[in-house]
C-alpha cells in the first residue's frame, strides 16, 4: 500500500504527527470484528469453535458467505464517518491470526488475508483517522482466555517455539504490507500477553522487534506489558520508536468490586504507566472502560469512573483507545438496536448466557450458585494454597466450569439458531450490524468528547521538560 502521509513517530514523551507537532491519539478499539468475541456479538465460547459449529449447520460455503457479509457490514463507510465527526483520530484494530494464516498451512500467508484490514484502514484514512494493527489472537494463544481464541485455559504460545516462529512470520508479512503507509500509526505486537514464567515474553519481544525492524524500520511499535498489559517488571531497556502500552480496567467498572475510589484508580494507573514514564516514553492506554448494565442510575455512576480515568489521562498527556466501538449493548460506543433481526433472534440466547454466567466479560462468575459455589468451596478447602496464574482460584474455577464446560455446548446451541434460515435471512442477520441499524451511546460519547476538548497535545513535551 502506498504511503498517504509521513509517518507518526515518537519523540521523548510525545507522539509527533506528520507535521512534526505533538499529537495525542484518541480513539476506539475495533474489537469483535477481525477477532470476534463472545460478549460482543452474542455467541458462546471462542470464535473458532463457534464458526465450526455454524458451518456444521449452514454448510461451509453458506457459513463463509454469512461471516463475510457480517465483516463487511460491521464496519463500513458510515462507521468511519461517524468516528471522524465525533473527533476521534485513531482506531486500534484487533486481528485474529487466522485471517492471515491457517493452522493447516502454517507459515503461508493467505493471498487475500489483508482484504478486510486494507478496506477499513483505507476508509479510516479517507476520514483522517489513523489505525493501529493489533494482533489480538496468536497461534497457540498468548493468554488464558477466550479473547485469544483460546478453547482451553492454557497459553500454549509460550511453550512452543513453533507458535512463536509463526508469529514472527506473520508480523514480517504485516510489516512488509504496510511499510511506508502513513495512515497506519503502528503495530501492536501482542495483545495482552500472559507468560506465566515471565521469562519468555521479554526475549520474544526482542526477537520480534528485530524481525519487524529488518522489514519496516519506521513504524511505531506498541508493546503490551505481561499479564494482560499490566506488568512491566521483566522489561528493561527501551526500543527506539516504541511504546510500552497498558490496559487500565477498574474492577468496580467491570462489576468485580463494590468499592471504588479515585485514589485507588489513580494509584493503579500510575503503577501500570510507571515503566513508560520512567523511560520518558509516550503513554498509550490501549484498553479501558466500564461494562454497562442498562440501569441508567448505575450506568451514570460507571460513567463517573470513566470521567475520572479520562481526566487522569489528560493530566498525564496519555493517548488512549476506548474498549470498544461496537457490540450488542454491553460496552460499545455504538450498539445494535433491539428491533433488528439479529437481536430478535439471539437476545433470548444471550439472556441464557447471562443467567448461567457463561461469558466471562461482564458476568459475576457465579451464575447458578447452587452449582458453582460448592465447587469453589471444595477447591478452596482441599487446596487452600492454590493460587493459579493469572487471576487466582476464583477465576480459574469459573473459567473451567462456566466459560469452557458450559460455554462449549452453548456454542452448539448458538449455531442451532441458524438452522432453517434462508440466504435472505442470513443477510438480514449480518446487516443488523450496519451503522444505520445501530444506536449511539450518547452519554458515553459526550464524556469522550469532553475529555478530548480538554486535552493539550503539548502537555507531554512539558512533562518531559519538567
Summarised one tens digit per residue, pLDDT across range 139-197 is 999 999 999 999 999 999 999 999 999 999 999 999 999 999 999 999 999 999 999 99
Whether the CA torsion 142, 330, 283, 78 is positive or negative: it is: positive
Q: What is the dihedral of CA 431, 434, 437, 439, to 10 degrees?
A: 150
What DSSP line would sit under 60-125, residue for residue?
Answer: HHHHHHHHHHHHHHHS-HHHHHHHHHTT--EEEEEEEGGGT-BTTBTT---TTTTHHHHHHHHHHH
Lowest mean pLDDT among 25-34, 235-244, 362-371, 454-463: 454-463
Is residue 25 a contact partner of residue 15, using CB atoms and an 8 Å limit? yes
pLDDT classification of 463: cutoffs 50, 70, 90: low
Residue 466 pLDDT more than 90? no
Residue 2: per-residue pLDDT: 42
In a domain, 401, yes or no: no
In a domain, 320, yes or no: yes
Residue 1 pLDDT more than 90? no
Share of the chain above pLDDT 90, in %: 95
The CATH code of the domain that includes 193 is 3.20.20.80
Tens of pLDDT along 351-395? 999 999 999 999 999 999 999 999 999 999 999 999 999 999 999
- The helix-helix angle for 369-382 and 392-400 (nearest 10°) equals 130
In a domain, 418, yes or no: no
In a domain, 329, yes or no: yes
Distance CA 151, CA 147 (A): 10
In a domain, 364, yes or no: no
SS3 31: strand
Q: Given the residues 287, 297, 439, 462, select the one marked as catalytic.
A: 287
Residue 22: per-residue pLDDT: 96
Distance CA 88, CA 449 (A): 9
Tens of pLDDT along 11-22? 999 999 999 999
Global pTM reads: 0.97
Is residue 184 a contact partner of residue 178, using CB atoms and an 8 Å limit? yes
Could you tell me which of 152, 143, 255, 252 has the C-alpha nearest to residue 190?
143
> Where does 108-178 show beta strands of DSSP type E?
130-137
Tens of pLDDT along 224-255? 999 999 999 999 878 999 999 999 999 999 99
pLDDT classification of 119: cutoffs 50, 70, 90: very high
Residue 3: per-residue pLDDT: 45
Contacting residues for 181 by C-beta, under 8 A, at least 6 apart: 1, 2, 3, 4, 121
Tell me how many domains the chain contains.
1
Q: What mean pLDDT value characterizes the chain?
A: 96
Residue 237: per-residue pLDDT: 78
In a domain, 130, yes or no: yes
Residue 269: per-residue pLDDT: 98
Grid coordinates representing 33 are 470484528
Q: Given the residues 37, 47, 192, 447, select the one marked as catalytic.
A: 192
Tens of pLDDT along 391-438? 999 999 999 999 999 999 999 999 999 999 999 999 999 999 999 999
Domain that holds residue 266: 23-338+438-454
pLDDT classification of 465: cutoffs 50, 70, 90: low
In a domain, 380, yes or no: no
In a domain, 206, yes or no: yes
With b meaning 16 or more CB within 10 Å and e meaning fewer, what string describes 74-94? bbbeebbebbbeeebbbbbbb
Q: Is 192 designated active site?
A: yes
Q: Can you name the residues that pair with 222 across neighbouring β-strands?
A: 188, 243
Bond before 101 cis per omega within 30 degrees: no
Tens of pLDDT along 289-343? 999 999 999 999 999 999 999 999 999 999 999 999 999 999 999 999 999 999 9
Grid coordinates representing 348 are 433470548
Q: Is 287 designated active site?
A: yes
Is residue 79 a contact partner of residue 16, using CB atoms and an 8 Å limit? no
Residue 278 pLDDT more than 70? yes
Amino acid at each position: 500500500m502506498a504511503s498517504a502521509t509521513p509517518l507518526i513517530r515518537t519523540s521523548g514523551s510525545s507522539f509527533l504527527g506528520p507535521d512534526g507537532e505533538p499529537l495525542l491519539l484518541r480513539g476506539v478499539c475495533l474489537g469483535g470484528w477481525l477477532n470476534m468475541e463472545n460478549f460482543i456479538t452474542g455467541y458462546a465460547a471462542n470464535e473458532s469453535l463457534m464458526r465450526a459449529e455454524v458451518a456444521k449447520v449452514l454448510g461451509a460455503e453458506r457459513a463463509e458467505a454469512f461471516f463475510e457479509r457480517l465483516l463487511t457490514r460491521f464496519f463500513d463507510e458510515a462507521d468511519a464517518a461517524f468516528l471522524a465527526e465525533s473527533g476521534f483520530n485513531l482506531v486500534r484494530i484487533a486481528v485474529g491470526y487466522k485471517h492471515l494464516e491457517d493452522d493447516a498451512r502454517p507459515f503461508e500467508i493467505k493471498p487475500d488475508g489483508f482484504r478486510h484490514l486494507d478496506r477499513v484502514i483505507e476508509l479510516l484514512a479517507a476520514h483522517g483517522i489513523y489505525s493501529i494493527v493489533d494482533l489480538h489472537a496468536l497461534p497457540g494463544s498468548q493468554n488464558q482466555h477466550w479473547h485469544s481464541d483460546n478453547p482451553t485455559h492454557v497459553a500454549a504460545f509460550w511453550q512452543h517455539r513453533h507458535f512463536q516462529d509463526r508469529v514472527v512470520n506473520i508480523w514480517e508479512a504485516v510489516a512488509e504490507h504496510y511499510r511506508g503507509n502513513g495512515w497506519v500509526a503502528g503495530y501492536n505486537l501482542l495483545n495482552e500477553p500472559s507468560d506465566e514464567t515471565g521469562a519468555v515474553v521479554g526475549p520474544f519481544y526482542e526477537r520480534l522487534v528485530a524481525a519487524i525492524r529488518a522489514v519496516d524500520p519506521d513504524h511505531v511499535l506498541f508493546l503490551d506489558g505481561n499479564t494482560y498489559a499490566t506488568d512491566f517488571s521483566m522489561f528493561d531497556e527501551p526500543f527506539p520508536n516504541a511504546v510500552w502500552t497498558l490496559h487500565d480496567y477498574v474492577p468496580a467498572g467491570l462489576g468485580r468490586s463494590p468499592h471504588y475510589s479515585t485514589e485507588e484508580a489513580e494509584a493503579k494507573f500510575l503503577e501500570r504507566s510507571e515503566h513508560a514514564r520512567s523511560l520518558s516514553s509516550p503513554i498509550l492506554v490501549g484498553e479501558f472502560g466500564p461494562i454497562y448494565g442498562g440501569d441508567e442510575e448505575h450506568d451514570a455512576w460507571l460513567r463517573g469512573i470513566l470521567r475520572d480515568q479520562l481526566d487522569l489521562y489528560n493530566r498525564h498527556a496519555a493517548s488512549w483507545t476506548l474498549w470498544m466501538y461496537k457490540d450488542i449493548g454491553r460496552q460499545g460506543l455504538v450498539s445494535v438496536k433491539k428491533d433488528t433481526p439479529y437481536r430478535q433472534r439471539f437476545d433470548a440466547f444471550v439472556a441464557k448466557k447471562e443467567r448461567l454466567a457463561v461469558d466471562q466479560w461482564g458476568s459475576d462468575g457465579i451464575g447458578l450458585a447452587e452449582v458453582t459455589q460448592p465447587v469453589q468451596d471444595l477447591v478452596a478447602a482441599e487446596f487452600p494454597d492454590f493460587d493459579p496464574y493469572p487471576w487466582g482460584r476464583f477465576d480459574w474455577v469459573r473459567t473451567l466450569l462456566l466459560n469452557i464446560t458450559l460455554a462449549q455446548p452453548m456454542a452448539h446451541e448458538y449455531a442451532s439458531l441458524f438452522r432453517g434460515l434462508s440466504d435472505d435471512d442470513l443477510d438480514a442477520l449480518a446487516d443488523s450490524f450496519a451503522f444505520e441499524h445501530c444506536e449511539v451511546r450518547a452519554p458515553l460519547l459526550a464524556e469522550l468528547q469532553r475529555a478530548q476538548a480538554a486535552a493539550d497535545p503539548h502537555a507531554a513535551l512539558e512533562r518531559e521538560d519538567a
